[in-house]
Amino acid sequence: MHRFTDKERGEITAAIQAAEQRTSGEFVAVVARASDHYLAIALLWAAGLALLLPAPLLLFTHVRFLDIYQLQIVAFILLTLLFEFMPGLHMALVPMGLRHARASALAHAQFYDQGVHLTREHSGVLLFVSMAERYVEIVADKGIHEKIGAERWQKIVNALVLKVVQGDPSGGFVAAVGACGEAMAEHYPAQADDIDELSDGLIEI
């Protein structure tokens, strides 16, 4: 899992401040280590595999029924611990649709938790990355999305996803903030009385 350095945090802050010089828009960058623990999924897999254990034992061994039951309990516990301490394996067992749904829910929750919806001109934009799911979403008011256009937003998202996959989320944030600033400046130009309403630093949750 990528750990952001102070230098990377500083670069992201500088990118946000530079973008906000060009537009009345406000940008907030949020990164989550994971959007959910997916404990229920791990338990379901552990239970399912433990329940399948008796079949090969009965077919190919002479283990007693009581011993099989005990082995199932041990297998369930060991598998649960394995999934817990190997996040990569654990995440691979979670359906893609569920991963994206949980990450998107957290992104939208952060949009409100960070007060992005409360900007004076309703021009706040949240750039959200969930590292474990390799999920990226840009959340903004409906009016902003309509003005910028889905295709342009998606191009920025795709570029950020690629950087996350390549192991450079910091560079991805910097580029994405710059691209968002350029897009927002076309519709929300900087005003003389602009004030900095939201945090410019990377928010890590």
Q: What CATH number does the domain containing 24 carry?
A: 3.10.310.50
Query: Does 51 share its domain with 125?
Result: no
Query: Does 109 share its domain with 166?
Result: yes
Q: What is the average per-residue pLDDT within 134-159?
A: 92
pLDDT value at position 125?
95
pLDDT value at position 73?
92
- Tell me how many domains the chain contains: 2
Amino acid at 101: A
- pLDDT higher than threshold 80 for residue 178: yes
Better pLDDT: 1 or 38:
38
Q: What is the average per-residue pLDDT within 136-161?
A: 92
Query: Does 131 share its domain with 192?
Result: yes
pTM for the structure as a whole: 0.83
| Ordered strands of the 124-130 beta sheet | 135-140, 124-130, 26-32, 203-204
Confidence of residue 69 (pLDDT cuts 50, 70, 90): confident
Q: How far apart are CA 184 and CA 76, in angstroms?
A: 52
Query: Does 27 share its domain with 56?
Result: no
Would residue 194 count as lying in a domain? yes
What domain range includes position 85? 39-92
- pLDDT higher than threshold 90 for residue 26: yes
Query: Does 158 share its domain with 180?
Result: yes
Phi, psi of 194, deg, nearest 5: -60, 140
Instruction: Dump pLDDT digits (tens) for 92-144.
Output: 889 999 999 999 999 999 999 999 998 888 889 999 999 999 999 999 988 89
Query: Does 168 share its domain with 75?
Result: no
Query: Does 110 share its domain with 169?
Result: yes
Would residue 1 count as lying in a domain? no
Q: How far apart are CA 48 and CA 197, in angstroms?
A: 50
pLDDT value at position 67?
84
Of 58, 77, 92, the one marking the end of a domain is 92
Burial (0-12, 13-18, 19+ Cβ within 10 Å), 87: middle
- pLDDT higher than threshold 90 for residue 61: no
Report the percentage of the chain scoring pLDDT > 70.
Answer: 100
Query: Does 16 share its domain with 74?
Result: no
Would residue 132 count as lying in a domain? yes
Would residue 69 count as lying in a domain? yes
pLDDT value at position 128?
98
